[in-house]
Structure 1
Amino acid sequence: MTKGSTVGNLAKDLGWNVRELARQNVHVVSVAKMQYFGVSVENGNLYVNDRLDREQLCDIAPLCFLNFQVVVENPLNIFHITVAIQDINDNAPQFLSDIINLETSELTLPGTRFLLGKAEDPDIGANSLQSYQLSPNQYFTLEVRQRKDGNKYAELVLHKPLDRESEQMIHLVLTALDGGDPQKSGTAQIWINVTDANDNPPIFTQDLYKVSVHENSPLGSQLLQVLASDKDEGTNAQVRYEFSNIPANSQKTFSLDPIHGIISVMGPLDFEETKEYTMTVAAKDGGGLVTHCNIEIIVLDENDNAPEVTLASVFSPVPENALSGTVIALINVNDKDTGDNGKVTCYLKDDLPFQILSTSNNYYKLLTEGSLDRERSPEYNITIMATDKGTPSLSKHKTISLQISDVNDNAPAFEKISYRLYVPENNPSGASIFNIKAFDPDMGQNAKITYSILSSNIQELPISSYISINSETGTIYAQRSFDYEQFREFQLQVKAQDGGSPPLSSNATLRVFILDRNDNTPQILSPSQEAKGSTSFEMVPRSAEEDYLVTKVVAVDADSGHNAWLSYHLVQATEPALFTIGSHTGEIRTARAFAERDAVKQRLVVVVKDNGQPPLSATVTLNLVFAENFQEALPEMKNQSRDSEVQSDLQFYLVLALALISFLFLLSVILAIMMKLRRSGNPKFLQCFAPVPHATAGPVFPPNFEDGTLPYSYQFCLSSESQRNEFTFLAPNVQIADSLLCGEKCEVPFTGNSENHVNSQVENVDKVSYLE
């Protein structure tokens, strides 16, 4: 049949849906090297795919079958197909030799047989060799005989004595006919040489010799020895052996010793190609007489073929959630040997979650066994071992690379369930404070993690005003600057969700602790800081002894820990040796008893420091008055009050003094020059701006003295007498212990009873003291 010819319709025979054939991937699987048939996915026809030669495929077998499988995927199914190859008469009978030379003695008796050999016709049945015909002659007739294997051969039978003198060479034509339609034939020319008398032909010891040989026998191995004897003498008794009518496949395989009749192996034997050899050996004596015997050589199988493993179908990749028993591959295993040598066992080489099961006709299924996990093993190299039962056994392996596809079966996992995060206060807004990370062993979109904040324990404002998170990287940012004194910790839940379908997620708790920084100065609670310009006083009895508790400085710090540890230090005092302060308690105590030489008024400056790095501090000034009662301390408090006002304006006057000094220096230079120029004039020119009427009347102050300010140049106009005056001002129940113009307890008699005059003098002295 020509290539493409339709053999049958499988779709019709098997009830297939023609429209589904392409999707089901219907295809032919065969272990043969040639694919003689194919299946059309368009109509389901089984067609001839390559030229068929029955003689090549099946040799002389009376029945010729081709076996193959048709595999249908989605769902998987296998159909075993057997096609019988029918013979046609495409071969004519053919003799191994076109010329047959025979030699016989004229004394050959009638009835003597001459083997003519056989013609070969590779066809079978009626198309094979059926008969032989001999051309008409007077000496010989033709007799057709049949061997055990069914092959027919011809023998020439002498029915009339020969006469060499009348006819030395006889020519005959032998025709071989088959039974085909039309009939085909083949011919061979027979030449018979009639020799002189030799009346005893050689005789073999056996008409049939049988021998078995292993297919792996080495070249040169001796198989058997044929032996023929001749009763004649001389050259007529000398026997030589030769192959007669030997098949073509035997000529290169076996050799025959013409003298001794030993048959040896000359070429390789292969049981899988030829299982049995039949041939004829002729024994010819020196007189030309020939005798034949038949030889049968049986080849024994050896385990010389390893099993062949063929992959019919492979399904890769396989999802990791595939059920146990899912088909992975369809495998065909074939061994050309026979018997136990051809029996094959299939198994998996390694301990893997797969199993292999036999189906039919040497087909096996590779199935999953148990669950798969891509995260543990994304790929499997499955080695299938096929071992026969020969001795020694032979094996072959086939490796299948199987990919496992991912399924979203793993939720993102954090390194910890709970995290603790410490953030110093006063952090910059928008700064990254932490990076939280979750891991997903899946791949692709199933491993793409998105981060979000689920909830928090902050009730006042949404968590987004405090904390934000980068949804891709998990970086956490502070949205504001934290204040430890406002709140010290808060808690939130972070969610990590993958991109699978459906998505999987997990949560982690994040506790944020705000760390304190030294950003608050100590606050002094006692003594209280009063309004600007006012002065506070503490009265200490003059009779106070050593370690007398004068007062206690109390301070607090809004920070915590080391930053809130306070220490007290006395940095300035009128009499440093008179007082001590507890560095941790803030208690101010007398270091010794009050002495008469000590000033009544004492000014202490206390610094309160915290333990931060760098430390912050606050100061407080304490004014102490040594007095036994309030009336005694009142005048000192009044003077101190005015000093406090001066202290509050000290900064302003410092700036003013710089400008005034510059101005007065320039004015002094100008006045000095003018005094040089007018030395001959009035010497009173520079004196006090006005004459002094009475020396005892005291200095004359400029008009603006009422506001407490004296020009620098005017101070030079004060007479030495007025500068030597000492004043004592008396007030009811008030003693002035320290005067800015007099020493301690200096008294100057004063004449006059006018109270207004006394008050006026006190006021003037106070103003002069203020200027100094």
Structure 2
Amino acid sequence: MAIPAKLTRCSGMVMLCLFLELLLAASARNILYSVPEETDKGSFVGNIAKDLGLEPQELAERGVRIVSRGRTQLFSLNPRSGSLVTAGRIDREELCAQSARCLVSFNILVEDEMKLFPIEVEIIDINDNTPQFQFEELEFKMNEITTPGTRIPLPFGKDLDVGMNSLQSYQLSYNPHFSLDVQHGPDGPQHPEMVLQSPLDREEEAVHHLVLTASDGGSPVHSGTVRIRVQVVDVNDNPPAFTQAEYQTSVPENVPLGTQLLMVNATDPDEGANGEVTYSFHNIDHKVAQVFQLNSYTGEISNKEPLDFEEYKIYPMEIQAQDGAGLMARAKVLIKVLDVNDNAPEVSITSVTTAVPENFPPGTIIALINVHDQDSGENGHITCSIPENLPFKLEKLVDNYYRLVTERTLDRELTSEYNITVTATDQGNPTLSTQTHVLLLVTDINDNPPLFYQDFYSIYIPENNPRGASIFSVRAQDIDSNENAQITYSLVEDIIQGAPLSSYLSINSDTGVIYTLRSFDYEQFQNLQLRVTAQDSGNPPLSSNVSLSLFILDQNDNTPEILYPVLPTDGSTGVELAPRSAEPGYLVTKVVAVDRDSGQNAWLSYRLLKASEPGLFSVGLHTGEVRTARALLDRDALKQSLVVAVQDHGQPLLSATVTLTIAVADSIPDILADLSSISTIANPEDSDLTLYLVVAVATVSCVFLAFVTVLLALRLRRWHSTRLLQAAGSGLEGMPASHFVGIEGVRAFLQTYSHEVSLTTDSRKSHLIFPQPNYADTLISQESCEKKDFLSVPQSLLEDKKEIFSQVIL
């Protein structure tokens, strides 16, 4: 068994002494075994128990073990079988290299007897190694002028096996120029050599590839190889040669910079510097050299500047190829440039007119235009055009010249400025175009009169307007420009009611504002017709007129005017008569009033403000008639006093009042007696009542006769006026209703009263007889008379009548 690892150093020394003693006493007989190399672990080597005369189980009991010094244990004992077996794989070449015989020695120790038995195991070689060369590939250089018979030593092969398993022979692959010669040395190794058999030609075959094989004698045979590369070294015996005598290519002019356009190729069968061909330009124009670049090693020609068909259509050049030894060759190169549509048409304005009057005739030349394109063919064919919606056209002349002319008369008021776009387009693919602009101003002539915004104007102003007030503004427009559009305004002079229009109105010549120069009175006239002229400052000046109607609006500035009863001028009070026998509704008198205003301002209404006997009399609201409201009684006073108010409907309301005195009596003597008594009470000093009464009766009769005469004259005059109006046509047409007296501004009724009066006189008394009164309404209409006629005639009669009655009362 093995010695424990934990024994002390002293015990180790003791054991060593015992071992040496046993070794000296041991028998000199060796036990020899053999085993092939590379056997597996545990392979049988020999029956050590049998050879020692022991039983297998005794090996462990007697402490039998292997002892060796300084060597890895290659073998071990199998205690069960008593056999010597391998402890691992054994490599003979590792143990013994190339020794002819490989023996491994060790001892077997029988520990209980302290005996040692030497053991030798021979490791039998097997062919487990292949012949090998130091290099996998060898390269030799031989000049192509090397003479045949030249020897080139080849490397040795090496085989780690021995005997027949070692390297036995060499073999060289077939090559007509080389052969193998193996020299055997005095020590036995073989020395292979390669012998040149025939001359070499690098241009024919520059490199020769051979394989040298080394084989052993084992079974099976193993062999190793080395590749041999023989490079034939060139000599400069061949000049370069181009593949073509002339190279041609066509490229478009818009190729990008650095594009490979062409590649020349020259070959030289020599090698190395002798076959290295470089390229260069030869006899080339310096401008061409600036455009193209030649790769001196590849022969590639590229452009370093843009190509321009318009400058060069063909670029000729010569390329030279030269090898390292100075031999050269030349070839011509032609690069044709193809035109592309890379130039837009050029447009230039040779002559141009910047402004023309609008009345220039068609065909007026505006501009002379020249177009040009540097391209060729269809790329340089140009058409010129302008927009179709313009009053111009292009006329083609020679040598790509065009002239721009007017096609119709221009109108500045429609278009005062034209920006004419002239487009020149070529026929290339894709098409290119260029635009230029011609700016043309159309100058104005005075061909448009001022125009008012309306054909007719109506102006409404209230009467009593302040003087100098602006009442309206007219405005005209002239579509011309500058002084041709500067407008001045003026009034067309006219005569109105005997006075010039300029005394009524004025106009601001610059602004067209109309001002009043006086205050208007609706009762004087209701409207004015005038015309305004607008005139420009052109040469000759142009003008236009517009009509204006100025309507005066009525204001309630007139109080009602009472026409009847007429107030006496001497301060007396007028008297109306009413018989005591009057029934209710008896028409006593009528208050007649007019208003010089119109419309609502002239609508009059009547009302009783005050009465001495309330409830006895009533006044018609719209008629002004004073009637009895009830029958007269004896107790009613002879003299009744009424206050009647007349009021219009304007804003503000205006009114007038009249005081009526009504005498109540059944007969003339009664009224005289009553009047006498009233007069006596009122004025005891007055004693001439009878004389006044007689005078009053006579006056009344005269007034009545005069009234009848005037009435007949008025009838005749109305008939005559009607005839004149029919002859004159529309003499009174358009006359407003306010020119006539009427209720609600349309009609007026005057009620005239007539009494049949008889005067009886004797020595003692005189009296008046009042028969049953009658009355008639007389219509004063638009066709019968005017307001001034009515106011002139009846008022004088009524004043006379009221004066007579006042004298009677007095």
Give TM-score, length-normalised by structure 2: 0.53
Match of 1:319 among 357, 366, 371: 357
Letter aligned with residue 490 of structure 2: S
TM superposition shift of 1:230: 4.8
* Distance in 1 between residues matched to 2:652 and 2:682, nearest whole Å: 31
* Distance in 1 between residues matched to 2:561 and 2:260, nearest whole Å: 124
Residue 629 of structure 2 corresponds to residue 584 of structure 1: no
* Distance in 2 between residues matched to 1:262 and 1:233, nearest whole Å: 21
Q: Which residue of 1 aligns with 2:342?
A: 304
Letter aligned with residue 524 of structure 1: I
Match of 2:546 among 508, 516, 522: 508
Match of 1:240 among 278, 286, 294: 278
* Distance in 2 between residues matched to 1:239 and 1:427, nearest whole Å: 119
Residue 295 of structure 2 corresponds to residue 257 of structure 1: yes
TM superposition shift of 1:645: 10
Letter aligned with residue 614 of structure 2: P
SS at match of 1:246: coil
- Residues 357 and 364, structure 1, Cα contact 8 Å, conserved in 2: yes
Q: What pairs up with 1:178-327 in 2 under 5 angstroms?
A: 201-230=239-268, 236-327=274-365
Q: Which residue of 2 aligns with 1:391?
A: 429
Letter aligned with residue 672 of structure 2: L
* Distance in 1 between residues matched to 2:682 and 2:245, nearest whole Å: 157
TM superposition shift of 1:350: 6.7
Residue 613 of structure 2 corresponds to residue 564 of structure 1: no
Residue 391 of structure 2 corresponds to residue 348 of structure 1: no
Letter aligned with residue 622 of structure 2: H
- Residues 534 and 644, structure 1, Cα contact 8 Å, conserved in 2: no
- Residues 425 and 483, structure 1, Cα contact 8 Å, conserved in 2: yes
What are the Cα deviations for residues 612-661 of structure 1, in whole angstroms up to 9, with x where unaligned?
A: 21222222111012111122223554677799999xxxxxxxxxxxxxxx
TM superposition shift of 1:580: 0.9
Number of residue pairs matched?
A: 455
What are the Cα deviations for residues 694-752 of structure 1, in whole angstroms up to 9, with x where unaligned?
A: xxxxxxxxxxxxxxxxxxxxxxxxxxxxxxxxxxxxx9899xxxxxxxxxxxxxxxxxx
Which sections of structure 1, spanning at least 5 residues, go unmatched? Answer: 1-196, 647-730, 735-772
* Distance in 2 between residues matched to 1:733 and 1:604, nearest whole Å: 30
Pair 640,379 (structure 1): closer, same or farther in 2 beyond 3 Å: farther
What are the Cα deviations for residues 491-524 of structure 1, in whole angstroms up to 9, with x where unaligned?
A: 2222111000111111111122222222222222
Residue 500 of structure 2 corresponds to residue 423 of structure 1: no
SS at match of 2:333: strand
Match of 2:526 among 464, 488, 503: 488
What are the Cα deviations for residues 367-391 of structure 1, in whole angstroms up to 9, with x where unaligned?
A: 2232323233222222222221111
Residue 555 of structure 2 corresponds to residue 526 of structure 1: no
Q: Which residue of 2 aligns with 1:542?
A: 580
Q: What pairs up with 1:41-60 in 2 under 5 angstroms?
A: none
* Distance in 1 between residues matched to 2:673 and 2:569, nearest whole Å: 21
Q: Which residue of 2 aligns with 1:183?
A: none
What are the Cα deviations for residues 134-185 of structure 1, in whole angstroms up to 9, with x where unaligned?
A: xxxxxxxxxxxxxxxxxxxxxxxxxxxxxxxxxxxxxxxxxxxxxxxxxxxx
* Distance in 2 between residues matched to 1:434 and 1:253, nearest whole Å: 85
Letter aligned with residue 476 of structure 1: I
Pair 484,501 (structure 1): closer, same or farther in 2 beyond 3 Å: same
TM superposition shift of 1:438: 0.9
* Distance in 1 between residues matched to 2:683 and 2:355, nearest whole Å: 94
TM superposition shift of 1:414: 0.7
Task: Give 1 or 2 for the bigger CA radius of gyration.
Answer: 2
* Distance in 2 between residues matched to 1:638 and 1:327, nearest whole Å: 115
SS at match of 1:404: strand
What are the Cα deviations for residues 230-257 of structure 1, in whole angstroms up to 9, with x where unaligned?
A: 5767754553322212222222322333
Pair 376,521 (structure 1): closer, same or farther in 2 beyond 3 Å: same
Pair 316,235 (structure 1): closer, same or farther in 2 beyond 3 Å: closer
- Residues 533 and 645, structure 1, Cα contact 8 Å, conserved in 2: no
Q: Which residue of 2 aligns with 1:622?
A: 660
- Residues 457 and 492, structure 1, Cα contact 8 Å, conserved in 2: no
Q: What's the RMSD between the two structures over aligned residues? A: 2.9
Pair 504,591 (structure 1): closer, same or farther in 2 beyond 3 Å: same
TM superposition shift of 1:437: 1.3
Letter aligned with residue 447 of structure 2: D
Q: Which residue of 1 aligns with 2:58?
A: none
Q: What pairs up with 1:6-85 in 2 under 5 angstroms?
A: none
Residue 448 of structure 2 corresponds to residue 410 of structure 1: yes
Query: What percent identity do the matched residue pairs reach?
Result: 55
Q: What pairs up with 1:585-600 in 2 under 5 angstroms?
A: 585-600=623-638
* Distance in 2 between residues matched to 1:236 and 1:271, nearest whole Å: 41
- Residues 571 and 605, structure 1, Cα contact 8 Å, conserved in 2: yes
Residue 360 of structure 2 corresponds to residue 336 of structure 1: no
- Residues 264 and 300, structure 2, Cα contact 8 Å, conserved in 1: yes
* Distance in 1 between residues matched to 2:683 and 2:528, nearest whole Å: 50
- Residues 328 and 365, structure 1, Cα contact 8 Å, conserved in 2: yes
* Distance in 1 between residues matched to 2:278 and 2:504, nearest whole Å: 117
* Distance in 1 between residues matched to 2:545 and 2:265, nearest whole Å: 99
Pair 361,440 (structure 1): closer, same or farther in 2 beyond 3 Å: same
Q: What pairs up with 1:682-693 in 2 under 5 angstroms?
A: none
* Distance in 2 between residues matched to 1:530 and 1:413, nearest whole Å: 62
* Distance in 1 between residues matched to 2:374 and 2:284, nearest whole Å: 27
Pair 578,459 (structure 1): closer, same or farther in 2 beyond 3 Å: closer
Which sections of structure 2, spanning at least 5 residues, go unmatched? Answer: 1-234, 685-763, 768-810
- Residues 567 and 573, structure 2, Cα contact 8 Å, conserved in 1: no
- Residues 222 and 262, structure 1, Cα contact 8 Å, conserved in 2: yes
* Distance in 1 between residues matched to 2:604 and 2:654, nearest whole Å: 10
- Residues 555 and 601, structure 2, Cα contact 8 Å, conserved in 1: yes
SS at match of 2:600: helix
- Residues 517 and 563, structure 1, Cα contact 8 Å, conserved in 2: yes
* Distance in 1 between residues matched to 2:594 and 2:643, nearest whole Å: 18
Q: 252-261 vs 520-529, which deviates more?
A: 252-261
Pair 238,526 (structure 1): closer, same or farther in 2 beyond 3 Å: closer
What are the Cα deviations for residues 312-359 of structure 1, in whole angstroms up to 9, with x where unaligned?
A: 333222222222222222333222222211222222247322223332
Letter aligned with residue 516 of structure 1: D
Q: Which residue of 2 aligns with 1:551?
A: 589
SS at match of 1:402: strand
- Residues 411 and 497, structure 1, Cα contact 8 Å, conserved in 2: yes
TM superposition shift of 1:587: 0.8
- Residues 632 and 733, structure 1, Cα contact 8 Å, conserved in 2: no
TM superposition shift of 1:602: 0.7
* Distance in 2 between residues matched to 1:202 and 1:470, nearest whole Å: 108
- Residues 493 and 500, structure 2, Cα contact 8 Å, conserved in 1: no
Q: What pairs up with 1:131-146 in 2 under 5 angstroms?
A: none
Pair 392,592 (structure 1): closer, same or farther in 2 beyond 3 Å: same
- Residues 456 and 490, structure 1, Cα contact 8 Å, conserved in 2: no
* Distance in 2 between residues matched to 1:207 and 1:643, nearest whole Å: 170
SS at match of 1:209: strand
Match of 2:505 among 457, 464, 467: 467
Letter aligned with residue 359 of structure 1: L
Q: Which residue of 2 aligns with 1:378?
A: 416
Letter aligned with residue 400 of structure 2: N
* Distance in 2 between residues matched to 1:346 and 1:636, nearest whole Å: 123
SS at match of 1:575: coil
